[in-house]
Amino acid sequence: MTCKPNGAESAVYGLGLIGALVYYIQHATSFWNGILGIIYSFFWPAFLVFKLLEFFKM
């Protein structure tokens, strides 16, 4: 059995990706920080979960 993503999940991830791209590009102080920001924007859910687990000391 495979799990097929619906449109709502893809839309939330897509909006988060765009928001993260804008945030990281605006705060980049050099070219390489901008490139790193693009990479970070693809992995923002992982960073979010990590920080939440760190906050709750789990």
Residue 17 sits at the vertex; the CA angle it makes with 14 and 22, to the nearest 5 degrees, is 130
Top-confidence residue, 19 or 4 = 19
DSSP collapsed to 3 states, 10-24? HHHHHHHHHHHHHHH
- Please, which pLDDT band fits residue 28 given cuts at 50, 70 and 90? very high
Would you kindly state where each structural domain of the chain is located, as residue ranges?
29-58
Chain mean pLDDT for the chain:
85
Model confidence at 5: pLDDT above 70 = no
Looking at residue 4, what is its pLDDT? Answer: 65
Looking at residue 31, what is its pLDDT? Answer: 94
* Cα–Cα distances in angstroms (integers) from residue 2 to residues 33, 37, 57, in the given order: 38, 32, 33
Model confidence at 46: pLDDT above 80 = yes
